[in-house]
Amino acid sequence: MSISAIVLSLTLFLFDVPSPLSLNVTTTDQEAPVVCKAKGSARAPAFSLEGDYIIGGVFSIHYYMHTFIHNYTSKPEPVRCTGSVDSRELRFARAMVFAIEEINNSSALLPGVTVGYQIHDSCASVPVAVQAAFQLVNGLAPEYYPDQRCSQSGMVMGIVGESGSTPSISMSRVAGSFNIPQVSHFATCACLSDKEQYPSFFRTIPSDKFQADALVRLVKQFGWTWIGTVYSDSDYGNNGMASFLSAARREGICVEYSEAFYRTYSHSRIQRVAQVIRRSTATVVVAFAASGDMRILLEQLCQEPVPYRQWVGSEAWVTDPDLLRFSSCVGALGLGIQQSVIPGLKEFLLELPFSTVSASALLSKFWEEAFKCRMPTSQVQYNVKHNCTNAGPDDTLCDGSEDLMNLESPYLDTSQLRITNMVYKAVYAIAHAIHNALCQNTTNQCDKFIPLQSAQVSHLKTPCLYLLMSLYYFSQAHFLGFLPGSCSAKESQFLSEWVQCVV
């Protein structure tokens, strides 16, 4: 039995999420229809658009879930997100909106059909991701009457997400029960390839099975036989590091230490991991970690004395432009999936009128952090600035004169588009599935009055989604160096064999 299933049942218990399991079914008399009511209140999606068919999306936009101490004497507060906004994840969410707009504009794909979306912020946490999954399955209506079982499966045709493996696993338990296809752009845990456990889970990114081996090959190629390792204490980090360590052992690489950490760990635990790195003799550290976790550790390590280490990273963090601000403490080498170009995306990202920003709590938060000002609508208390971060608005008021064009933010960094392209592909995969189900017999008009079950979509489109996966294998991956200075002759030679050295 996996941990995530246990977490799921605890979650249902603690957070009172609206779910098919917690509906209050009442029949008043024989004639009256069954009334199905969701218990608890719905959480509004971060972004949404009406349409004939809805595609759900879940991204880790905030870094944390707000945690509170349960006293078990009153109803718990609804779950919510806190911390700063991961602007790369915001880009992923906006890229999904962009893809759907393109599909709506297209006369070849789903002609005459509008595709809508409901995009949620899971703040990289299991309880919020599960709640989002239930809402995508049930819809947001507080009452509905579809049948005696209160099952309204098929609110969404498919779900794009989650970014992390652990929330993806939890969501797949919900979406899978209703046969709703879930297509992740970034969940790479090899464990998710198990079709028996995750029958409706697909992804547009390769499994870590390949990545662990490739990282070992990389380390070995440089002759680094004495290394330290750190990893996220999550399905992604635990599974990835386990594969890495077993491959490393086979190749005769010695590991001085192997430390797990996680963004919600106490300050002292993170500090302890930093101390292990400072005191170690291994100058190479391999990190199989999510970007949100890595950021916490690097913040700790950029305090004096800074331990200069050669970092080797998994692609979850090594291609995150946000981590470039730690350049004084990090020179990382790792694997990334192929970069790409999405025409029109940059313009779309730049098109954020101030009225749109003010109307969205999430965009307001992003705006405040990006421009270090306070929105007129803001009620949030801000923390004093950390030394290594640039987050936290001061007291000037945002007034719309802020200029996105001149903003340096991972949100606007479209120079590489690796994972963003996987989001884009995931949206298209689901749209093509719907198209094939609706538009088989007609060339220019689809019959949107055909009642469509989402199970039908995953049924029809399974081969297509598999095909997307098989497009990605590691010969396409390439090395990315964030090394300050230039590569040594040996490194350059090795790197040029694979692809190129980016300094």
Ligand X SMILES: *[C@@H]1O[C@H](CO)[C@@H](O)[C@H](O)[C@H]1NC(C)=O
Return residues touching ligand X (CB under 6 A).
Answer: 24, 26, 51, 71, 73-74, 98, 101-102, 104-105, 114, 303, 344, 348, 387, 440-441, 447, 450
Minimal distance in Å, beta carbon 303 to ligand X?
Answer: 6
The residue (of 147 and 347) whose beta carbon lies closer to ligand X is: 347
CA distance 486 to 493: 12
Cα dihedral sign, 382-384-390-396 = positive
Minimal distance in Å, beta carbon 105 to ligand X?
Answer: 4
Minimal distance in Å, beta carbon 435 to ligand X?
Answer: 11
DSSP H helices, 225-290, are: 235-250, 267-279
CA distance 402 to 233: 39
The residue (of 241 and 431) whose beta carbon lies closer to ligand X is: 431
> Of 425, 424, 416, nearest to 339 (Cα)?
416
CA distance 198 to 200: 6
Minimal distance in Å, beta carbon 54 to ligand X?
Answer: 12
The residue (of 388 and 502) whose beta carbon lies closer to ligand X is: 388
The residue (of 173 and 295) whose beta carbon lies closer to ligand X is: 295
Q: How far is CA 32 from CA 23, 117, 142, 143, 145, in A?
A: 18, 33, 18, 14, 10
Give the residue nearest to ligand X (CB): 104
The residue (of 396 and 440) whose beta carbon lies closer to ligand X is: 440
Minimal distance in Å, beta carbon 37 to ligand X?
Answer: 7
How far, rounded to the nearest angstrom, does the alpha carbon of residue 151 sit from its chain's CA centroid? 28
Two tokens, residue 431: 């749209």
Minimal distance in Å, beta carbon 288 to ligand X?
Answer: 28
**Starting at the edge strand that comes first in sequence, how are the strands of the sheet with 143-144 ordered?**
24-26, 35-37, 143-144
Q: What is the DSSP letter of 107?
A: S
Two tokens, residue 85: 């906004």
CA distance 343 to 188: 26
Cβ(203)–Cβ(158) below 8 Å: no
The residue (of 16 and 491) whose beta carbon lies closer to ligand X is: 16
The residue (of 73 and 355) whose beta carbon lies closer to ligand X is: 73
Minimal distance in Å, beta carbon 78 to ligand X?
Answer: 11
